[in-house]
Amino acid sequence: MGSGSEVERDDVAVLLAAKDAEIDALTARIAELEGLVAALHVQIGRDSSNSSQPPSSDSPFVKKPTAKRSSRQRSGKKPGKQPGSGGSMLSLVEDPDEVFQVPALQCSCCGAGLAGAPVVGTRRHQVVDVPPEPPRPRVTEYRVQSACCPGCGVVTEAVHREVPAAPVPGAASYGPQVKARAAWLTCAHFLPVRRARRIVNALGGFAVSDGFIAGMRGAAARLVEERFLPHVRALIAAAPVAHADETTARCEGRLRYLHVACTEHLAAMHVGDRSADTIDAGGIWPAFTGVLVRDGYSGYGHLTDIDHAWCGIHLVRDLRAASDADPEGQLWATAMADTLLLANTTAHTARNQGRDALSEKELTVIRNRYAGAIGLGREQNRHGRDPLHDTARTLLRRFERHQDMILRFTVNLQVPFTNNTAELAARSAKVQQRTSGGCWRTLTGLIDFAAVQSYLSTATKWGIDTLDAMTRLFTTGPWLPPAPTPDTAAHPA
C-alpha cells in the first residue's frame, strides 16, 4: 500500500515538473512574442519624430500629440505678429502715372448737392498695380563692325560679350536679364520647365521656348563651376566647424546621392554614390581640419584626422523610438534623451552669456547623467532576447562607444547640437524631385542642379536675394562670398 502511494506521488511530481517546464516555456514564448510585437510597433510607428524619415513622409491621416512629435519647447508667445514689432505698408510716390480727382457730390448729412462748393481738404490715396499687358521687351541692337587690316589684308570682326562669336546674319538672342529670370524660376523656385516658360512669357512679353528654359540651368551651372565652387570649397575646408549630409536622388532609373558640405554661411554640393571616394571627391574633406558635424553614417569614418560630432536630434529620435515601443522597460532611453536636451539648453545658455566654454560643474552634471542613463540601460536590457531588446542594446552600445563624439557640442561651444544646417540644404533635392515627376531624366541635370543650388544656398545665407544673385551670374559673373562669415568680411584680420 505504501509503495503504491509512493508511486502515485512520484507520478504527480513528474506531472508537476512537466507542467512547470511547460509553463516556463510558454512564459518565455509570451515574452518573446511581446518583444516581437513591440518591435513591429516600432517598425510601423516610424515617422519623422522617431527616425530619420523626412516630415513629408508622415501620414496625413495620423496626427500624434505635439509633445511627441517635436523636441522643441514652447516659447510662450502666441502665433502670428508679436506686440510691439514693426509693421510695413506701401508708401506714396510723388510722381504717379495718373491722377484722378474724386469730387464730393452730395452732402452726407442733408443730401444737398456740393457742385461748386469750395474744396476744404484733399486726401491722397494711391493704388499700385501692374499694367494689364506686359511691357514691350527692351531690344538693344549691336552693329558689329569688321575692318580690313591695311598691312596684311585680314578682315577682323569686333568682339562684344553680348554678341555670339559666330552669329547668324540677322539673328537675335535673349539677354542676361531674361536668362537670369528663366534660371531663377527653375532653380530657385523649382518650377517645371513648361510652367516656368509660361510665367516668363506672360510677365515679360516674350515667346521663349521650353528648350531655352531647360538650357538655362546648365548655362548657370557652367558659370558657377568655373569660379564660385572652387572658391567656396576652399572657404569650407578652412572653417573651424562644418556640416555634412547626403540624400537620395533618383536619376535615369538609378539611385544617386546628393552630398552636401556646408557651414552656416556657405554650401557646396556634388553628386555620386555613398562611398568614401565620392565623399572625398567633393574636394573639401581631405583638406578639412576642423570639427565635422554629421549623422551616424559610417561612410565618414575614414576621416580619422579630424574630430567628429554626432547630430543630437538624430540620437533623440532613435531614443524616442525605443521609449515609445516600451516606455517602462526602456526608461534609460528617456533619461538619455533628457540628458542630451539638458546639455543643449546648458550650451545655449552659455553662448547667450558670451562664455567660451561650460563650467566644470556643468560638464560633471551632464557626464554623470549620461553615465547613469547607460547604467540603467544595461540593467534593463540584460536579459531580453527579442528584437526590441536587440535594437536597444545596439543603441546602447552606440552611446557607450561614441560618448566623446556625441557630447562634442558640450566641450566646444562652436559645435551646434544638430546637423540641421546640412539637412536644410539637402532638402532642396526633395523639393525639386517632387516637382520633376519623381526623378531627374539625366545625370547631367542632377549635377547641374547641385552646382546651382550651391550658389543659391550660399547667397541666401548671406542675405542676398536669389534673383539678384542669378542676375549677377549672367551679367558681371558669379557673386563670391568675400570671407567665411559676414562678421569676418566686415572685420578682416
DSSP one-letter string for 294-323: E-S-GGGTT-TTSEEEE-HHHHHHHHHHHH
Rounded to 5 degrees, φ, ψ at 244 are -135, 145
> Of 447, 446, 436, 452, nearest to 180 (Cα)?
452
DSSP letters spanning 130-197: --SSPPPPP-------EEE-TTT--EEE---TTS-SSPPTT-----HHHHHHHHIIIIIS---HHHHH
3 state SS for 435-483: HCCCCECCHHHHHHHHHHHHHHHHHHHCCCCHHHHHHHHHCCCCCCCCC
CA nearest 52: which of 329, 321, 261? Answer: 321
- Please state, in angstroms and rounded to a whole number, the distance separating the CA atoms of residues 257 and 278: 9
Is residue 244 classed as helix, strand or coil in its secondary structure?
strand
Predicted confidence at residue 67, as pLDDT, reads 45
State the pLDDT at residue 493.
46
Q: Which residues pair with 270 in a beta bridge?
A: 259
Distance CA 458, CA 428 (A): 13
- pLDDT, residue 324, reads 87
Distance set, CA 299 to CA 240, 267, 303, 321, 397 (Å) = 21, 20, 9, 24, 19
pLDDT at 198: 94
Quickly count: other Cβ atoms within 10 Å of residue 108's Cβ.
7
Strands 307-310, 291-294: pairing kind: parallel
Q: Please give the Cα distance from 451 to 15 (Å, whole number).
A: 76
Distance of CA 167 to the CA centre of its chain: 43
Closest CA to 326 of 272, 252, 381: 381
Give dist(CA 289, CA 294) in Å, integer: 15
Specify the pLDDT at position 441.
86
* Per-position DSSP letters for 90-132, written without gaps between them: ----SS-S--------B-TTT--B-TTPPP------------S
pLDDT per residue rounded down to tens, the chain (493 residues): 556 677 677 777 778 888 888 888 888 788 777 777 777 766 676 666 665 665 655 555 555 554 444 555 566 677 766 777 766 778 899 999 999 999 999 999 998 998 889 999 999 999 988 888 888 888 888 888 899 999 999 999 888 877 776 656 667 888 899 999 999 999 999 999 899 999 999 988 888 999 999 999 999 999 999 999 999 999 999 999 999 999 999 988 889 999 999 999 999 999 999 999 999 999 999 999 999 999 999 899 999 999 999 999 999 999 998 898 888 889 999 999 999 999 999 999 999 999 999 999 999 999 999 999 999 999 999 887 888 888 899 999 999 999 999 999 999 999 999 999 999 999 999 898 888 777 888 999 999 999 999 999 999 999 999 999 999 999 999 999 999 999 887 655 4
